[in-house]
């Protein structure tokens, strides 16, 4: 997360620099970032009233939704908008965020906006991110691994209790954090951000290049399920995500589409996704949201096409990947918008 792209925010922890215009280096050749004055990668300003004669969709998620690796116009949210001339999509995606921060982004910046529907796109790999009190990042000054505080919820007496409000600005060295006895809070960040994890993924990508399909075949043969949090509805990770999403859906002033985004390994069929499907389907049924499973549409594509869903080294979707996501979501979006009641929060 480049410090030149983001600034501290007392509610969310951070956001894009409002009004930012920047070109970011990337293995895909670089991409353009354009942000509105609210501090999100969106070409539209977050005005209360929807434009005359247009429908409006509010979109939430992490870096998959914000579109790391591709310019604004190539993201699935922008592609959904391009399919319907009378549709405006406001993208509130925030890279590195958990469902907790995305919900807070809705409360802080979007709940008073006129909208026809909300599209919530939690990335399935981030189910434990909501349990973190801090996020592990690399210092831009000396390269040291440091922890930055983030807002987080705890479940107390069956309800959500919010902590770190306002979010502290100070950073803590990883070694100091461990010495203070907070090692358990590094569960997710160690998995996602560690150099070992990065090297392991690079080795996996190299194996796939030298022996295409071997790693995926091994996983399919063994029936690997991951993340395991979805296999048990009582797991801490799922209980927290479900509690946040249920509160969000209850508070929403418009119909909600719940569309969890799979990893590339799920898209390729190399990881079992039944637990993920079951948890989100159950949540949608009891909360009144509409569950959108994008996997069947994605997996219907030829395997040689799906291999280009993500970048060679970066896990994020390519332009083709975003196009496939937009196609998988378009029918559900088209169905819910005409019957959405236009209300002002």
**What is the arithmetic mean of pLDDT over 219-241?**
87
Distances (CA, A) of 220 to 79, 265, 268: 32, 10, 10
Of 68-72, 176-180, 206-210, give the range with the top mean pLDDT.
68-72
- Banded model confidence at residue 66, pLDDT cuts 50, 70, 90: very high
Q: Is residue 140 part of a domain?
A: no
Q: Which residue has the tokens 């075949």?
A: 217
Q: What is the residue-averaged pLDDT of the chain?
A: 88
Say what the pTM is.
0.88
Q: Report how far residue 172's alpha carbon sits from residue 261's, in angstroms, rounded to the nearest whole number.
A: 31
Q: Please give the residue range of the domain that contains residue 312.
A: 6-131+173-336
**What is the arithmetic mean of pLDDT over 289-295?**
98
**What is the arithmetic mean of pLDDT over 260-268?**
95
Q: Is residue 161 part of a domain?
A: no
Question: What residues are paired with 120 via a beta bridge?
Answer: 60, 258
Q: What's 240's domain CATH number? A: 3.40.50.1110
Q: Report how far residue 78's alpha carbon sits from residue 199's, in angstroms, rounded to the nearest whole number.
A: 32
Q: Is residue 164 part of a domain?
A: no
Q: Report how far residue 147's alpha carbon sits from residue 182's, in angstroms, rounded to the nearest whole number.
A: 11
281: left (phi over 0), alpha (psi -120 to 50) or beta: alpha
**What is the arithmetic mean of pLDDT over 258-279?**
95
Query: What does the DSSP 8-state code read for residue 164?
Result: S
Domain total in the chain: 1
Residue 176 has pLDDT above 80, yes or no: no
Q: Is residue 146 part of a domain?
A: no
Residue 253 has pLDDT above 70, yes or no: yes
């Amino acid at each position: 997360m480049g410090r030149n792209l983001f600034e501290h925010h007392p509610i969310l922890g951070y956001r894009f620099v409002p009004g930012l215009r920047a070109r970011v280096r990337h293995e895909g050749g670089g991409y353009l970032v354009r942000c509105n004055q609210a501090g999100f990668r969106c070409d539209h300003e977050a005005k209360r009233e929807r434009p005359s004669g247009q429908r409006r969709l509010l979109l939430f998620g992490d870096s998959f939704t914000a579109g790391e690796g591709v310019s604004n116009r190539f993201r699935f949210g922008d592609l959904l908008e391009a399919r319907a001339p009378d549709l405006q999509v406001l993208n509130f995606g925030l890279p590195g965020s958990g469902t907790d921060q995305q919900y807070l982004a809705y409360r802080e910046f979007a709940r008073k906006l006129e909208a026809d529907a909300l599209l919530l796109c939690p990335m399935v790999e981030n189910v434990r991110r909501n349990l973190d009190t801090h996020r592990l990042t690399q210092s831009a000054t000396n390269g040291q691994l440091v922890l930055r505080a983030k807002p987080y919820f705890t479940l107390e007496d069956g309800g959500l209790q919010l902590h770190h409000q306002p979010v502290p600005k100070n950073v803590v060295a990883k070694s100091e954090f461990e010495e203070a006895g907070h090692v358990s809070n590094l569960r997710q960040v160690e998995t996602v951000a560690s150099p070992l994890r990065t090297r392991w993924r690079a080795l996996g990508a190299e194996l796939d290049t030298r022996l295409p399909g071997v790693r995926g075949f091994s996983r399919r043969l063994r029936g690997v399920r991951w993340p395991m949090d979805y296999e048990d509805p009582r797991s801490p990770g799922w209980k927290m995500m479900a509690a946040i999403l249920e509160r969000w859906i209850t508070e929403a002033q418009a119909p909600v589409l719940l569309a969890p985004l799979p990893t590339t390994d799920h898209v390729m069929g190399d990881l079992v996704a039944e637990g993920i499907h079951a948890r989100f389907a159950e949540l949608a049924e009891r909360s009144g949201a509409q569950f959108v499973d994008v996997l069947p549409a994605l997996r219907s594509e030829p395997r040689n096409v799906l291999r280009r869903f993500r970048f060679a080294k970066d896990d994020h979707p390519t332009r083709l990947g975003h196009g496939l996501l937009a196609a998988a979501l378009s029918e559900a979006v088209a169905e819910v918008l005409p019957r959405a009641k236009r209300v002002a929060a």
